[in-house]
Amino acid sequence: MKPGSPIQFYIDQPSNWSVLGQCILVRGWSFSNAGQPVRAVRLRTMDLTLNGVTGLPRPDVNVALPAAPDEFTGFEIRGTLPGGRQEVQLEAQLADGNWCLLLARTVQVQRQILPLWLGGGDWQELMFFQMPAHMAYPARPLRGEQFPPPTHSPRRKISIVTPSYNQARFLPETMRSVLDQAKVTCDYIVQDGGSTDGSEALIARLAKETGNRRSETGSEVNPPPDAPRLIAWESATDQGQADAIKRAFAKTKGGGDDIMAWINSDDFYLPGTLAYVAGYFAEHPDVDVLYGHRIVVNEESQEIARWFLPRHDPEVLRLNDFVPQETLFWRRRIWDRVGGIDPAFKFAMDWDLLLRFQAAGARIVRVPRFLACFRVHAAQKTAARMHDIGQQEITLLRERTHGRPFPPQELERNPRLLSYLRQSARIEMLWKLGIRSP
Residue 225: pLDDT band with limits 50, 70, 90 = low
Range name among 95-109, 333-347, 376-390 with the lowest pLDDT average: 376-390
> In the predicted model, what is the mean pLDDT of residues 219-227?
56
Range(s) of the domain holding residue 176 = 158-432
**Alpha carbon distance 71, 56 (integer Å):** 8
Q: Same domain, yes or no, for 205 and 345?
A: yes
Q: Running DSSP on this structure, what letter comes out for residue 214?
A: B
Q: How crowded is the C-beta side of 344, counted as CA atoms within 13 Å?
A: 7
Write down the mean pLDDT value for the chain: 90
Q: Running DSSP on this structure, what letter comes out for residue 433?
A: T
Residue 438 inside a domain? The answer is no
**Alpha carbon distance 90, 49 (integer Å):** 10
Q: Is 177 exposed, middle or buried, given 0-12, 13-18 or 19+ CB atoms closer than 10 A? A: buried
> In the predicted model, what is the mean pLDDT of residues 128-135?
88
Residue 125 inside a domain? The answer is no
Residue 62 inside a domain? The answer is yes
pLDDT at 356 (0 to 100): 98
**Alpha carbon distance 72, 59 (integer Å):** 7
Residue 122 inside a domain? The answer is no
Higher pLDDT, 408 or 348: 348
Q: Same domain, yes or no, for 107 and 163?
A: no
**CA-closest candidate to residue 105, choices 85, 87, 78:** 87
Give Rg (Cα) of the chain. Answer: 23
* 134-166 pLDDT per residue, tens: 888 888 999 999 999 877 776 789 999 999 999
**Alpha carbon distance 336, 330 (integer Å):** 11
Q: Same domain, yes or no, for 63 and 202?
A: no
> In the predicted model, what is the mean pLDDT of residues 105-116?
88
Q: Same domain, yes or no, for 105 and 191?
A: no
**CA-closest candidate to residue 177, choices 63, 280, 326, 33:** 326
**Alpha carbon distance 112, 98 (integer Å):** 36
How many domains does the chain divide into? Answer: 2
Residue 46 inside a domain? The answer is yes
> What is the CATH number for 211?
3.90.550.10
Q: Same domain, yes or no, for 284 and 418?
A: yes
* 35-44 pLDDT per residue, tens: 888 988 999 9
pLDDT at 52 (0 to 100): 86
Higher pLDDT, 236 or 227: 236
Residue 33 inside a domain? The answer is yes
Q: Same domain, yes or no, for 100 and 169?
A: no
Q: Same domain, yes or no, for 348 and 250?
A: yes
Judge whether 105 and 97 are in contact, CB under 8 Å.
no
* 298-308 pLDDT per residue, tens: 999 999 999 99
Residue 256's CB is within 10 A of a number of other CB atoms, namely: 11
Q: Same domain, yes or no, for 102 and 191?
A: no
pLDDT at 390 over 60: yes
Q: Same domain, yes or no, for 97 and 162?
A: no
**Alpha carbon distance 56, 214 (integer Å):** 46
> In the predicted model, what is the mean pLDDT of residues 97-101?
92
pLDDT at 3 (0 to 100): 60
Q: Same domain, yes or no, for 212 and 345?
A: yes
Judge whether 174 and 266 are in contact, CB under 8 Å.
yes
Residue 238: pLDDT band with limits 50, 70, 90 = very high
Residue 399's CB is within 10 A of a number of other CB atoms, namely: 12
Residue 342: pLDDT band with limits 50, 70, 90 = very high
Q: Same domain, yes or no, for 222 and 292?
A: yes
Higher pLDDT, 225 or 72: 72
Residue 284 inside a domain? The answer is yes
Q: Same domain, yes or no, for 183 and 98?
A: no
Last residue of a domain, one of 72, 93, 111: 111
Percent of the chain residues past pLDDT 70, beyond the cut: 93
Last residue of a domain, one of 47, 77, 111: 111
> In the predicted model, what is the mean pLDDT of residues 412-420?
94
pLDDT at 218 over 50: no
Going by their DSSP bridges, the two strands 7-13 and 53-56 should be labelled as unpaired
Does the bond joining 14 to the residue before it have cis omega, within 30 degrees of 0? yes
Q: What's the Cα-to-Cα distance from 187 to each of 99, 240, 292, 327, rounded to whole Å? A: 44, 22, 22, 17
> What is the CATH number for 21?
2.60.40.650
> In the predicted model, what is the mean pLDDT of residues 62-80?
90
Residue 380: pLDDT band with limits 50, 70, 90 = low
Residue 151 inside a domain? The answer is no
**Alpha carbon distance 297, 342 (integer Å):** 28
**Alpha carbon distance 235, 194 (integer Å):** 5
Q: What's the Cα-to-Cα distance from 80 to each of 87, 155, 393, rounded to whole Å? A: 14, 44, 27
- Sign of the Cα torsion 57, 60, 63, 67 reads negative
Last residue of a domain, one of 111, 144, 169: 111
> In the predicted model, what is the mean pLDDT of residues 258-269?
97
